[in-house]
A and B are shown apart, each in its own frame.
Chain A
Amino acid sequence: MASKIKVKTKLLGDVADVKCLLLHPMETGARKDPDTGEPVPAHHITQLTSTNNGEVVMLANLSTAISTNPYFSFKFSGAKAGDTLKIGWVDNLGGTDEVETTL
């Protein structure tokens, strides 16, 4: 299966504009399965981290209140073309994913 993280980047001078979309159910734990009536256990991303050439440029702590298939956008300075940008996440059930892209 294809990556569960999609990243779009734009460079404006030395400022990188990063937008990312993560494939994740972000279950709150409060929802019931419409077929079985059983509660669906919480399953959500807790942390999103991004590094540029190994330097952390964003760390986000997240709750179940982030929408299904989360979207984030942020900007950082000191970027240049060819930099290696990584975005990774970890969820409350130990799931994890990471993607690498070049600015």
Chain B
Amino acid sequence: MLVLERRHRSIRAGAFVALLAAAILPHAVFAGPEEDRLDFVGYFQSRFPNVPFDEFANGIYAIDEDARTQWLEIEEFPPYEFAIERGEALWQTPFSNSSTYADCYDWPLGEIRAAYPKFDAARGEVVTLDLSINHCLVANGETPLAYNSSEMIDLTAYLAWVARGQKIDVRVPDDEPGSLAAYEEGKRFYYSKRGQLNLACADCHVTSVGMYVRADHLSASLGHPTHFPVYRSKLGRMISMHERFYGCVRDVRARPFDLQSLEYRNLEYFLAYMSNGLTINGPGARK
């Protein structure tokens, strides 16, 4: 394996090597997604033994009591309610060919959010909820939405709202090798240091979880995917998960990738898999 790895110096080779390893090495050496997840959950549970598993869906508010109190007050009447309302109206507006968004999906309304991100075998790549909305628009002859547009965020806010209570249930099917490669790409991204600050996502949200970054506590990676899109009090508007990725990558002083880029979709795929079993509670409110 070492020899192999030396030959494949390029970045993308990493996933390939992992795949190869999966094929030739016994299970114990190569950790599959489910082994990864159990290790991941176990780590956070040992770091925060008093936080029940389900609580991780509340992000930083699971581990920061002071911030939690203020968050609960905002949740009394959360500003994202406007987005849900607008999203519902958009969802129900038929396209010019009189089809609707609902016609694009194989699931009842409340189950659409939980069906993503998924590996789309036909397309050979990870499809997120946001991307699926644009696929739907294009298939119906409509103009796709910008991923940071109010319309896109409102639609995803509505779909998260009606999915509340559903569990995250991301799959990396064994019979679809492309899905494992996508998962591995997302995992590699998460653990790779990048940018001028030389920080990996995991450096802050795994290794240093709960510690201070300036005056804030670092939130746990486990549970991050449950609540997007979120209303950012600081911005006075809602952002998607990929805008958060964009902000994190920029904050470590690396050049961010585009929203819904393959890099971010694979990252979302990995992260959502790590949070399997947690309850969808979006849209959320964050500072």
Closest chain-B Cβ to A80's Cβ sits at a distance in Å of 23
Closest chain-A Cβ to B39's Cβ sits at a distance in Å of 41
Closest chain-A Cβ to B231's Cβ sits at a distance in Å of 8
Interface residues in B61-76 (C-beta closer than 8 Å to A) = 74, 76
Determine the residue in chain A with the shortest Cβ distance to B81.
Answer: A6
Q: Which of B18-26, B82-90, B210-218 contacts A (4 or more CB under 8 A)?
A: B82-90
Contact across chains for A6 and B89 when beta carbons are under 8 A apart: no
Instruction: Give CA–CA (A74, B86) in the complex, Å.
Output: 26
Contact across chains for A71 and B236 when beta carbons are under 8 A apart: no
Q: Which residues of B contact A2 (CB under 8 A)?
A: 82, 85-86, 89
In the complex, whether A25 has a CB less than 8 A from a CB of chain B is yes
User: For this complex, into which size category does the number of interface residues on chain A fall?
Assistant: 10 to 19
User: For this complex, into which size category does the number of interface residues on chain B fall?
Assistant: 10 to 19
Instruction: Give CA–CA (A6, B78) in the complex, Å.
Output: 10
Determine the residue in chain A with the shortest Cβ distance to B73.
Answer: A71
Point out the residue from B79, B89, B233, B236 that lies within 8 Å of A21, measured CB to CB: B79
Contact across chains for B86 and A21 when beta carbons are under 8 A apart: no
Instruction: Give CA–CA (A21, B86) in the complex, Å.
Output: 15
Point out the residue from A8, A19, A25, A69 that lies within 8 Å of B82, measured CB to CB: A69
Closest chain-B Cβ to A30's Cβ sits at a distance in Å of 14
Contact across chains for B77 and A21 when beta carbons are under 8 A apart: yes
Contact across chains for A8 and B77 when beta carbons are under 8 A apart: yes
Interface residues in A61-83 (C-beta closer than 8 Å to B) = 67-69, 71, 73
Q: Which residues of A contact B77 (CB under 8 A)?
A: 6, 8, 19-21, 71, 73
Closest chain-A Cβ to B202's Cβ sits at a distance in Å of 30
Given contacts A1-B86, A2-B86, is CB(A25)–CB(B236) below 8 Å? yes
Determine the residue in chain A with the shortest Cβ distance to B78.
Answer: A21
Instruction: Give CA–CA (A19, B77) in the complex, Å.
Output: 7
Closest chain-B Cβ to A82's Cβ sits at a distance in Å of 23
Instruction: List A residues at the B interface (Cβ < 8 Å).
Output: 1-2, 4, 6, 8, 19-21, 23, 25-26, 67-69, 71, 73
Instruction: List B residues at the A interface (Cβ < 8 Å).
Output: 74, 76-79, 81-82, 85-86, 89, 233, 236
A-B contact pairs, 12 of them (CB 8 A): A2-B82, A2-B85, A6-B77, A6-B82, A8-B77, A21-B81, A26-B236, A68-B233, A69-B79, A69-B82, A71-B77, A71-B79
